[in-house]
Amino acid sequence: MDTARHPGSLTKELDLDAKQFLGLLDRAAQLKAAKAARAEDRLLEGRNIALVFEKDSTRTRCAFEVAAADQGARTTYLGPAGSHLGREESVRDTARVLGRMYDAIEFRGFAQETVEEMAGAAGVPVWNGLTDSWHPTQMLADVLTMLEHCSGFVQDIRFCFTGDGRNNVARSLLVTGALLGMDVRIAAPAQLQPPADVVATARELAAASGARVLVTDDPREGVAGADFVYTDVWVQHG
């Protein structure tokens, strides 16, 4: 039988409420400042983290490896051909094995169902480093960057994503902005806009947070008055 999902898991943005999200950003800002001052406390000494990658990456892999090392943890990288995940062994079996050996697992891959299944079986925190649906760790980095370049509150920030609004980053930006009470816009042709259920979720969140949500096919309307413009290609490369 699967173990209960660990409360430290982060498989999508909606695993967090606004207070938890902003709390993580406060902690990240503290760690970033401590690293710059060469005064970072190594709070993860003796810990081990598995990095499971179905998709190759430069920045995601390096970010996790450097962050873990700075905190004193050791990492094991399992690339696309580096494990039996989904072939000789099921996702559940892989998660159970890794959960017995490691203190946490980061997963970067394709299906959201994979990271959810892994989180349900591992018994340790599982973090989504990217799936085809969501990219929560990227959202933490992006909102931290916005806050570093704005003098006001997170609710004062206006930003627009332009590109293929169906992709993981666009979905995550839309939901995250709505969760945090931001002014979030997605500018994309009608056939490339976020799925209706994602837009509906964002509008529900906005009703509670006071966020301003705009999905439009007019790029000029999307970027008007924006503090940040997030651009992307029209065709995804996998």
Q: What is the pLDDT along the chain (238 residues), one digit of tens a residue?
A: 566 899 999 999 999 999 999 999 999 999 999 999 999 999 999 999 999 999 999 999 999 999 999 999 999 999 998 787 867 789 999 999 999 999 999 999 999 999 999 999 999 999 999 999 999 999 999 999 999 999 999 999 999 999 999 999 999 999 999 999 999 999 999 999 999 999 999 999 999 999 999 999 999 999 999 999 999 866 555 5
Question: What does the pLDDT read at residue 236?
Answer: 55
**Distances, alpha carbon 190 to alpha carbons 115, 143, 173, 187, 197, in Å:** 30, 26, 18, 9, 15
Residue 25 and residue 143 in contact, taking contact as beta carbons nearer than 8 Å: yes
Can you give the residue range of the structural domain that contains 201? 150-230
Return the closest-CA partner of residue 27 out of 140, 134, 156, 106. Answer: 140
Question: What does the pLDDT read at residue 76?
Answer: 98
As given in the structure block, the two tokens for residue 101 are: 């050996």
Evaluate whether residue 49 is within a structural domain: yes
Helix (H/G/I), strand (E/B), else coil: 40: coil
pTM: 0.94
Question: Do 102 and 157 belong to one domain?
Answer: no
Evaluate whether residue 213 is within a structural domain: yes
Question: Do 92 and 37 belong to one domain?
Answer: yes
Residue 164 and residue 235 in contact, taking contact as beta carbons nearer than 8 Å: yes
Evaluate whether residue 7 is within a structural domain: no
Question: Do 124 and 155 belong to one domain?
Answer: no
Return the closest-CA partner of residue 211 out of 202, 199, 220, 201. Answer: 202
Evaluate whether residue 23 is within a structural domain: yes
**Across-strand partners of 185?**
160, 214
CATH number at residue 55: 3.40.50.1370
Exposed, middle or buried, 28 (CB in 10 Å: 0-12/13-18/19+)?
Answer: middle
Domain boundary among 95, 130, 165: 130
Evaluate whether residue 90 is within a structural domain: yes
Domain count, the chain: 2
Evaluate whether residue 42 is within a structural domain: yes
Question: Do 108 and 182 belong to one domain?
Answer: no
Return the closest-CA partner of residue 162 out of 222, 213, 109, 202. Answer: 222
Question: What does the pLDDT read at residue 81?
Answer: 85
